[in-house]
Structure 1
């Protein structure tokens, strides 16, 4: 039986293997140090050093959620920190619940959906122009605002920009003067992306949410088509049906009566009306000629008409 002696390892024969090993180690190190998308960081119990940005607090899934520099979760019975979710270089400004999920609006214009039960980050979506509007960039007097005033402005605007709608499947709306967007919470899918006409702007301050829709008013200047003065209107957004348009005056005001109906006050000429956001139709007024034939009749009972006492 013949045998071959073991190959003697020389520096020349080792170099290729070392080169391959170094490449693999460099790749592994680069992967380990790869920046986390969107700067996401989840800290386990004891990792909170939050100083709340707002006094906002919500109870869900057996947790108390607070907006600190990120999303902070605490045991409501003991006050013990459960976990925190942060994003590098960003501050959470406002929180709203969409079904079982917590939706967070950040100062860099990002919107994030988080599942509190297992602190899973479900999706991120960027809203163009949101960060600039939150900071008030380009507005009259913006340069004179202090850092504290800019932060306070961002918190106030975040609270009127983010809306969640529970029916029929939870979804999220973001409203700014120049853009409104709607996302399905189940997967973050963009369902609409709407900008006002060139001479109009949306008004987040007057925007109203019900359990079925978000109603966004707009104010217009100048003239519209046919040289008629453009006053404004209201757009109603839903994900399970087409949107609708309501013509209004320039100073229309809205108020949610319940989870379905909205009171619309439109000045002395157009008057007051009730809109049903579930039926996507106006509610007929008590005693009106159209009440019998109305698609949406008044809820509850109407007062009995007062008999004419005569002369």
Structure 2
């Protein structure tokens, strides 16, 4: 049996050509596929031509800065190490959670980055954060200059983000209408909480220790007058707690576990131990011998000690 060669007709070419066009279009679409969250990590530079650009860096030897993205510089030489940007977003503030950098962006996204190998670990969107950073809808918002808007967003980003080291690094994000806690290891949401009734959280007065985050809240009555609020405490290794407080309560971290709570001229300042989740007894008080938390440093014969 003999085989005769036959020229391909235009009709027989069309199916193969259509398949080829589909494959080319698919490859082009894949190449131009939007990067999730607009992530762009620039290859790092190095003055040493023999250095391996893929080798992990010593995170402790890096100076990290924000604006408009996350920039890393070698502390020893000042040389630029690498850049991380997100298309259409500006980095406003960063804080370290263990060895990882956590960044707040102006579009309300929070990102964890591992500086040593420039790995973007997780992104989390916080509802309402972007609007609060911009001051959207607030009285006088339309009269702010661009510089004032940037300054406000930067200050609020710093107030919104708190990082805690124990029992393992975690991240708290606070807005007036919501607070959320994320485990830094994987970005897992561990809690989210809205203030009760006609109350709002106050990120600017929020305090973090090595173990917990304390978030004060302000409340108003039906007439719009301020009334007693409170303090919400959050931890990842135990249940949180609620403390009574006046509308103008102020807090200051004394060390890695104790917070001084000042609640106006009538109520004496008190110390709360965030590790024991209990108030510290005041020297000379009737509760001192039976207190769960004894005064730090003890009480001498000279009398009560003030924190």
Question: TM-score under structure 1 normalisation?
Answer: 0.89
Secondary structure at 1:45 match in 2:
coil
In structure 2, C-alpha distance between the alignment counterparts of 1:170 and 1:302, rounded to whole Å: 34
Aligned residue among 263, 266, 274 for 1:266:
263
In structure 1, C-alpha distance between the alignment counterparts of 2:94 and 2:202, rounded to whole Å: 20
Secondary structure at 2:266 match in 1:
helix
In structure 1, C-alpha distance between the alignment counterparts of 2:41 and 2:59, rounded to whole Å: 18
Q: How many residues are matched?
A: 290
Aligned match of 1:56: none
Aligned-pair distance for 1:4? Answer: 2.4
Aligned-pair distance for 1:230? Answer: 4.2
Aligned match of 2:145: 146
Aligned residue among 237, 246, 254 for 1:249:
246
In structure 1, C-alpha distance between the alignment counterparts of 2:110 and 2:217, rounded to whole Å: 23
In structure 1, C-alpha distance between the alignment counterparts of 2:257 and 2:88, rounded to whole Å: 39
The answer to whether residue 210 in structure 2 is matched with residue 211 in structure 1 is: yes
Aligned match of 1:299: 296
Aligned match of 1:177: 176
In structure 1, C-alpha distance between the alignment counterparts of 2:59 and 2:212, rounded to whole Å: 23
Aligned-pair distance for 1:261? Answer: 0.2
- Unaligned runs of 5+ residues in structure 1 are 48-58, 224-228, 307-311
Aligned-pair distance for 1:121? Answer: 0.3
* Counterparts of residues 215-230 of structure 1 (less than 5 Å): 215-222=214-221, 230=227
Aligned-pair distance for 1:122? Answer: 0.5
In structure 2, C-alpha distance between the alignment counterparts of 1:60 and 1:256, rounded to whole Å: 27
Aligned match of 2:53: none
Relative to structure 2, which stretch is displaced further, 284-293 or 207-216? 284-293
The answer to whether residue 281 in structure 2 is matched with residue 284 in structure 1 is: yes
Aligned-pair distance for 1:290? Answer: 1.4
Secondary structure at 2:182 match in 1:
strand
Aligned match of 1:51: none
Aligned match of 2:8: 9
Relative to structure 2, which stretch is displaced further, 147-156 or 284-293? 284-293
Aligned match of 2:105: 106
* Counterparts of residues 53-202 of structure 1 (less than 5 Å): 60-202=59-201
In structure 2, C-alpha distance between the alignment counterparts of 1:164 and 1:102, rounded to whole Å: 10
Question: TM-score under structure 2 normalisation?
Answer: 0.91
In structure 1, C-alpha distance between the alignment counterparts of 2:227 and 2:27, rounded to whole Å: 61
Q: Deviations over 1:4-53 (max 9, x none)?
A: 23453222212111111111110111011011111100112359xxxxxx
Aligned match of 2:25: 26
| CA RMSD in angstroms, aligned pairs only | 1.8
Aligned-pair distance for 1:91? Answer: 0.4
In structure 2, C-alpha distance between the alignment counterparts of 1:257 and 1:303, rounded to whole Å: 20
